Each structure stands twice: as C-alpha cells, then as structure tokens.
Amino acid sequence: MSIVWKGVFPALTTKFTAKDELDLPLFEKNLRLQIASGVDGVILGGSLGEASVLTYAEKERLVKFAIEKVEGAVPIVLNIAESATRDALQLAADAKNWGAEGLMMLPPMRYAADDRETVTYFKTVADSTDLPIMIYNNPVDYKTLVTLDMWEELLECSNIQAVKESTRDVTNVTRMINRFGGRLKILCGVDTLAMEEMLLGADGWVAGLVCAFPAETVAIYRLVKAGRIEEALAIYRWFMPVLELDIVPKLVQYIKLAEVQTGIGSEYVRAPRLTLVGKERERVLSIIGECVATRPALPDYLSISPEKNFA
C-alpha cells in the first residue's frame, strides 16, 4: 500500500502526564478530532512530537496505538531522526513491523553530513524498506540543505516520494516542480508559508498549529485546492498570529499551550524543555486567546472532497 502525499498531515505533539509518562487518553482525544476534521495523514515522533526525548518503546507504543485508533482512516507516518545509519535502518524495519504506512526522514542528527554522506544515508535507508518516504528538508533548523542535485540522486529510489519543504524559500517550490514535475510531491513544512506554497503548486501541508486548530487548517487547504481563494485567505489572515508560533525555538511549548486553550492537549513537556512561565507565558496566551476569541465560522469545507490518501 502506498501513500498519496497530498493534503494536511499533522505533525502531532506527544502528550505526557504530570508523571512524565505517555498520556494516551489525551493523545486519542486529539487524534480523533484530527480525523473528524478531515486530515489526510498523521506524523508521529517529529520535531514537534519531541522525537529526541522519546524512548524506542514509546515510539512503538505511539505507532501501534495510533494505528489501532484510526482504523485505517488515514496513513500513519513515523519520523526517523537518528544519529547512526544502523539505528535509522533498525527503526525503519521496526516501523514497518509495527504497522506504519510511511516514513518521514531527517538528515543525520548531531553530525553535519556533507552532500555525499547525506544522500548515502537517505538512500541506504530507502533501499532497506518498501515504505514510502518523505524527506524533511529544513536547513534553517538542522543545517543540512537537500539541493536539487541531491534530489536528482535521491529520486533514483522509487520509495523516496515527497519532501517536507521547510527551506523557507517559497521559490524552491517552483524550482522543484520545474525540475521534477510530479515525481516529487511537495508538502509545505512551515505554517506561515503554507498558503503561499500551495498556491505555487505544493501538494499539501505538514502542519504544526493543526494540533490545536485542525478544522481551520484543513479548511484552508481544501478551499485553496478548490480555487476558493478569498475564503481561504480570510481564514489564513486570522490564523497568522498563531501560525507564527510554529517558527520559534519553543514551538513545542507554544503549540502545546494552544492545544490547552482549545481543549485538546496539555502543557506537559519532557525535560530539558520546561513549561512556560511569567511574561513569556502571558504573551503567548494573549496571542492564542485573541485567536480563539475571534475564531471564524467555517464554510462546509468537508464537502470539498480531497483525493484519497491511499493508492
């Protein structure tokens, strides 16, 4: 079974209890609302999901739990963010055994690999599995840029199919379409550029604030793809102050605070992260509170049918 890389893919936060354990009931509450709101896939263990502090057993539990709860409604994608190639290979194999339908891959962590090393890393993992893969291209945060020439080599692997485009250069969408056409599916990975990149031809949106505002996120995507630009733009402009919480170092804490304000999350993060306090917390709450207080009425966006995500 392959994934059609189109639509809204939430990079879900990982819910914790006050005792620093997985909060699966709260995770399920958020997950079910995501599905009801019309998302097209779910990504687990990403940067927003606090991948760097999750244990291997927790990743397994999250994948199996999510698969059980979504009951085939959307594909479950697991992020790979490992330092060693052998660890990435093991996680790719285990993800398949756990039931994940796809992988998202970051470049090697901690070591700044050069172009040849990065391509070899990605291709080695891709050649080891038949799971479809989306490469996360985020040179701003992870200091590794996947260039067009590198993509030329990567696309020799038939299961490398998509990019989470987070270069923050919207013209990169046009460059990739010009060079690769539909061979490489493009999903915007920066909330504050999502509508712009979709208008330029991006196929979807790996979203962050969707964790707190799933309906509004999916509505923007479907309205844009239906050509109802003015309606999408009105929602997008309302959303922008909160979307900017996705492009800061404390995006995990900020987005989790937004989830609290919309009733589908908690503030608990795993150390060394700490929950927000003082003036910083007040400032972020003010931004979120204004957004919640002025939440727009949405059109019947669910009647705009997206393409199925499985093929």
pLDDT in tens, 157-166: 999 999 999 9
Contact 223, 41 (CB under 8 A): no
Report the Cα–Cα distance between both ends of the chain, in Å, rounded: 6
Lowest mean pLDDT across 85-89, 201-205, 230-234, 306-310: 306-310
105: buried, middle or exposed (CB in 10 Å: 19+, 13-18, 0-12)? Answer: buried
Instruction: Provide mean pLDDT across the span 83-108.
Output: 97
What's the pLDDT band for 309 if we cut at 50, 70, 90? low
Q: Which CATH class is domain 7-298?
A: alpha beta
- Structural tokens at position 1: 């079974």
pLDDT band at 143 (very low <50, low <70, confident <90, very high): confident
User: 0.85 cut: is pTM over it?
Assistant: yes
Does residue 136 surpass a pLDDT of 50? yes
Q: What is the mean pLDDT of the chain?
A: 96
pLDDT of residue 108: 93
Q: What is the pLDDT of residue 305?
A: 79
Confidence label for 131 from pLDDT (cuts 50, 70 and 90): very high
Provide DSSP, 214-228: HHHHHHHHHHHHTT-
Q: Is the pLDDT of residue 311 over 50?
A: no
CB within 8 A of 155, min separation 6: which ones?
180, 183, 184
